[in-house]
């Protein structure tokens, strides 16, 4: 049985409408954000489906049915996540059965998959786990390659309704393996447009300045969307081309070029790129190693750099010096420098970068010292004051940049870590790569 996306009037409505429904009371009350919706929005968008609504609903069967009915009433594709587990709280199966009028049936394919999965873990299914094989009549069972709960999809009226488990890794794999081919099939048959969009991540220019620089260059219109998203990591410019046809990508590229012409110097990456990946690629391409001395960022720079697989190739060590004595012991910062200028000063930032570079033998030393707050600020040295140092053998003396960031403790730490990595990125850009890399911004 194969289900594809119904397409009653492809010639009128070129872009299919998608909707995401996240199910689980913990998403409403427990202080937890629904992270599934991020990859789902990206995945649907890549398949040419515009996500118009997302909703979150608790474990109440009637509420789930209401949310799904509303979604299916206005979208071409609805992806629901959560509520497929073995416990009594898991009501998605029942809710779908209720509002579509298709009774639950124990399905052999689902039973086999559940038994197989549990056998891998050396267990036999409990009665509760076997309940996961109940699937609405007429639905296609979607295999779960890493968990026990199968998903399913069915056509209801003009909508394709997909139910995936709530566990992000499981939902992500099932979406990629089972749904992406199905959604693409729907597209190619109906001649729908692909939505193309691009995110350009910038650092160092306020949102208002970016808007001002782009005004008059690219114009939002019915088929084009321009958005700005500000966070402590910078401003992301989002460009979306909704119009159909083969020229969509060309139009998007022209808009992207226009943005680069105006603010290209501030763009550090596109789409899923992160600052730590960009810097890591630059270091690898130049055969350079890095050592970091952190104070107010407390290990965040090290944490970010080591989120990248393979970072041990270029990252040698990080010293987090949260006391003055640690700065003396670990980096050899002279005590008199801290007495004269204070631990948060350009002189100490430079000495930290130089100290960690010399002690580690790494090619580059990067340092941060600052006041993350909320306490510890003075009139002369307010909360948010941060100095960033960079040292390399080629330099006669360390380079130092001074910043004053706003925000709370967490935001100041994030901004300082981003500024430090960006400082390193900009310096590396000026150095020619020694090793060739196929992709190096």
Query: How far apart (Å, rounded) are the C-alpha atoms in residues 152 and 149?
Result: 10
Buried b (16+ CB within 10 A) or exposed e, 98-110: bbbebebeebeeb
CB of 227 to a second copy, least distance (A): 5
Q: Which of 299, 334, 342, 377 binds a second copy (CB under 8 A)?
A: 299
Q: 83, 92 in Cβ contact below 8 A?
A: yes
Q: Which of 96, 161, 171, 320 binds a second copy (CB under 8 A)?
A: 320
- Classified as helix, coil or strand, 415 is helix
Q: Under rule CB under 8 A, which residues in 345-364 are in contact with a second copy? A: 359-361
- Residue nearer to a second copy on the CB measure, 108 or 271: 271
Per rule CB under 8 A, is residue 378 in the interface with a second copy?
no
- Classified as helix, coil or strand, 420 is helix
Q: 368, 297 in Cβ contact below 8 A?
A: yes
CB of 337 to a second copy, least distance (A): 18
Query: How far apart (Å, rounded) are the C-alpha atoms in residues 166 and 24?
Result: 8
Q: Are strands 267-270 and 196-202 parallel, antiparallel or unpaired?
A: antiparallel
Per rule CB under 8 A, is residue 402 in the interface with a second copy?
no
CB of 396 to a second copy, least distance (A): 26
Per rule CB under 8 A, is residue 28 in the interface with a second copy?
yes
Residues 197-236: x where in contact with a second copy by CB under 8 A, - otherwise, as a string: x-x-----------x--------x----x-xxx-x----x
Query: How far apart (Å, rounded) are the C-alpha atoms in residues 109 and 14?
Result: 36
Residues 73-92: x where in contact with a second copy by CB under 8 A, - otherwise, as a string: -x------------xxx---
Distance of CA 412 to the CA centre of its chain: 20
- Residue nearer to a second copy on the CB measure, 109 or 328: 328
Q: Under rule CB under 8 A, which residues in 144-203 are in contact with a second copy? A: 169, 197, 199
Q: Which of 173, 306, 401, 426 binds a second copy (CB under 8 A)?
A: 306
Per rule CB under 8 A, is residue 418 in the interface with a second copy?
no
- Residue nearer to a second copy on the CB measure, 85 or 186: 85
- Classified as helix, coil or strand, 175 is helix
Partner residues linked to 385 by β-bridges: 404
- Residue nearer to a second copy on the CB measure, 321 or 364: 321
- Residue nearer to a second copy on the CB measure, 1 or 120: 120
Per rule CB under 8 A, is residue 243 in the interface with a second copy?
no
For the record, the structure tokens of 422 come out as 């960006």
Tell me the CA distances in angstroms from 384 to 207, 235, 401, one per residue in order: 19, 19, 14
Contact region with a second copy (CB under 8 A), list: 254-262, 324-332, 385-393, 433-441: 324-332
* CA dihedral over 6, 140, 80, 60, signed as positive or negative: positive
Among 202, 210, 212, 196, which Cα is nearest to 252's? 196
- Residue nearer to a second copy on the CB measure, 202 or 360: 360
Residues binding a second copy: what is the number (CB under 8 A)?
90
Q: Under rule CB under 8 A, which residues in 39-58 are in contact with a second copy? A: 41-42, 45, 51-58
- Residue nearer to a second copy on the CB measure, 59 or 140: 59
- Residue nearer to a second copy on the CB measure, 43 or 139: 43
For the record, the structure tokens of 33 come out as 């954000």
Q: Which residues have C-beta within 8 Å of that of residue 303, sequence separation ≥ 6?
A: none
Q: Which helix (H) or strand (E) holds 387?
A: strand 385-392
Contact region with a second copy (CB under 8 A), list: 137-145, 152-160, 325-333, 429-437: 325-333
Per rule CB under 8 A, is residue 238 in the interface with a second copy?
yes
Q: Which residues have C-beta within 8 Å of that of residue 246, sequence separation ≥ 6?
A: none
């Amino acid at each position: 049985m194969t289900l594809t996306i119904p397409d009653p009037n492809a010639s009128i409505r070129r872009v299919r409408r998608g909707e995401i429904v996240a199910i689980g009371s913990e998403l409403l009350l427990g202080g937890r954000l629904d992270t599934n919706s991020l990859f789902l929005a990206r995945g649907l968008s890549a398949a040419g489906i515009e996500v118009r609504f997302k909703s979150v609903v608790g474990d109440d069967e009637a509420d789930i049915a209401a949310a799904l009915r509303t979604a299916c009433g206005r979208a071409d594709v609805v992806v629901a996540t959560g509520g497929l587990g073995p416990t009594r709280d898991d009501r998605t199966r029942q809710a779908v059965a209720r509002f579509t009028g298709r009774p639950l049936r124990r399905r052999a394919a689902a039973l086999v998959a559940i038994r197989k999965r549990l056998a891998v873990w050396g267990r036999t299914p409990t009665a509760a786990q076997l309940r996961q094989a109940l699937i609405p009549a007429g639905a296609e069972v979607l295999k779960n390659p890493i968990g026990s709960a199968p998903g399913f999809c069915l056509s209801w009226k003009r909508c394709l309704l997909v139910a995936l488990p709530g566990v992000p890794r499981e939902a992500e794999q099932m979406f990629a393996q089972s749904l992406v081919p199905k959604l693409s099939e729907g597209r190619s048959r109906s001649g729908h447009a692909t939505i193309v969009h691009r995110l350009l991540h910038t650092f160092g220019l306020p949102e208002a300045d970016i808007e001002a620089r782009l005004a008059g260059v690219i114009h939002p219109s019915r088929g084009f969307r321009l958005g700005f998203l500000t966070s402590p990591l910078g401003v992301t410019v989002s460009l979306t081309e909704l119009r159909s046809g083969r020229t969509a990508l060309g139009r998007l590229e022209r808009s992207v070029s226009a943005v680069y012409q105006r603010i290209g110097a501030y763009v550090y990456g596109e789409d899923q790129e992160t600052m730590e990946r960009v810097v890591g690629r630059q270091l690898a391409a130049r055969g350079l190693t890095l050592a970091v001395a952190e104070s107010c960022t407390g290990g965040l720079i090290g944490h970010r750099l080591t989120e990248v697989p393979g970072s041990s190739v270029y990252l040698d060590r990080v010293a987090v010096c949260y006391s003055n004595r640690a700065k003396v012991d670990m980096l050899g910062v002279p005590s008199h420098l801290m007495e004269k200028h204070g631990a948060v000063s350009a002189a100490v930032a430079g000495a930290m970068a130089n100290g960690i570079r010399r002690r580690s033998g790494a090619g580059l030393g990067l340092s941060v010292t600052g006041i993350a707050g909320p306490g510890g600020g003075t009139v002369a040295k307010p909360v948010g004051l941060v100095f960033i140092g960079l040292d390399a053998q080629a330099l006669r003396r360390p380079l130092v940049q001074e910043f004053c960031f706003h925000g709370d403790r967490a935001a100041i730490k994030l901004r300082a870590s981003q500024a430090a990595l960006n400082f390193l990125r900009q310096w590396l850009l000026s150095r020619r790569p020694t090793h060739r890399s196929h992709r190096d911004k």
